Amino acid sequence: MQSVFVSGANRGIGLEHVKRFAAAGRHVYAAVRDPLAADALTPLAESGQVNLIAYDAEDLGAPDRIAAALQDKPLDLVFNNAGIYGGEKQSLAGIDPEAFMTTIRVDALAPLLLTQALLPNLRRGARKIIANQSSRMGSIADNGSGGFYAYRAAKAGLNMITKSLALDLGHEGFIVVALHPGWVKTRMGGPRAPVDVGDSAAGQAALLQRLTKTDSGRFFDYTGAELPW
Ligand SMILES: NC(=O)c1ccc[n+]([C@@H]2O[C@H](COP(=O)([O-])OP(=O)(O)OC[C@H]3O[C@@H](n4cnc5c(N)ncnc54)[C@H](OP(=O)(O)O)[C@@H]3O)[C@@H](O)[C@H]2O)c1
């Protein structure tokens, strides 16, 4: 894997992936909302190992602008990692319709549009991997506690998008997977989360490295265990 694209790269799991990919000698396109405020990535950007890319998942015009900027650069991996939880009003006691739609837009539609725009770059890459950072909260089979309507619906949508991409692109040699990073200590996961960001990213990176075409269209946690849809 030579060249990778990671969204949501300025903090949390995305930032950890960028650091690890860069340390492993990959060239990284790190997509962040505000490149001028991505302080944690400045040293890597200055060294030339990382290209900072402006990307707001709510901006539906962003994917085409990014594709135009990348021109014909090959990508081995597009890692759709950026995501939001969807706010507090996600129970039957109160749903915030605007927040619900924003969550669907950021967590499901945006990864699809970004992937679509970057297909020409992936076609030039050797590995052709699309990794969608989902959550086991998006698993219908695993839903044993209800609630969390916006986040669950958005990640379930991302899971379905993952499966369709795998079917639509399989004949071209693409590998498309949905991933669950674990419950991870980040701003989203909170301080009580049992998994450190380093362990999550290391497990996901090892999994990405060993993926083969038979893994496409499947859902894996950070240890490599398969999850039910
Ligand atoms: N942490 C967990 O326990 C856990 C569990 C399951 C799944 N996940 C998934 O893992 C992914 C990363 O989560 P995390 O824990 O690292 O969360 P995090 O620390 O909250 O980071 C979220 C990242 O997404 C970016 N982002 C949010 N909205 C965006 C938008 N509209 N456009 C572009 N980027 C946007 C954020 O950028 P800004 O800094 O600009 O806001 C940030 O880089 C998410 O998809 C999340 O759903 C996390």
The mean pLDDT of the chain is 98
* Separation CA 14–CA 82 (nearest Å): 7
* Separation CA 97–CA 104 (nearest Å): 11
pLDDT in tens, 171-187: 999 999 999 999 999 99
Distance 225 CA to ligand 1 centre (A): 22
Overall average pLDDT of the 148-161 stretch: 98
The answer to whether residue 42 scores a pLDDT higher than 90 is yes
Q: What is the pLDDT of residue 189?
A: 98
Question: How many separate domains does the chain show?
Answer: 1
Q: Which atom of ligand 1 is nearest to the CA of 56?
A: 32
Residue 183 Cβ contacting ligand 1 at under 6 Å: yes
In a domain? residue 227:
no
Distance 84 CA to ligand 1 centre (A): 5
In a domain? residue 76:
yes
Q: How confident is the model at residue 169 (pLDDT cuts 50, 70, 90)?
A: very high
| CATH number of the CATH domain containing 186 | 3.40.50.720
The answer to whether residue 97 scores a pLDDT higher than 90 is yes
C-beta of residue 220 within 8 angstroms of C-beta of residue 175:
no
In a domain? residue 144:
yes
Whether pTM exceeds 0.95? yes
* Separation CA 45–CA 219 (nearest Å): 32
pLDDT in tens, 101-145: 999 999 999 999 999 999 999 999 999 999 999 999 999 999 999
The answer to whether residue 30 scores a pLDDT higher than 90 is yes
- What is the maximum span of the chain, computed from C-alpha positions, in angstroms? 50
Distance 123 CA to ligand 1 centre (A): 27
* Separation CA 91–CA 95 (nearest Å): 6
Q: Which atom of ligand 1 is nearest to the CA of 83?
A: 45
Q: What is the pLDDT of residue 204?
A: 98
Q: Which domain holds residue 8?
A: 3-221
The answer to whether residue 1 scores a pLDDT higher than 90 is no
Q: What is the pLDDT of residue 219?
A: 99
In a domain? residue 64:
yes
In a domain? residue 119:
yes
Overall average pLDDT of the 64-72 stretch: 98
In a domain? residue 229:
no
Backbone angles phi, psi at 129, to 5 degrees: -105, 130
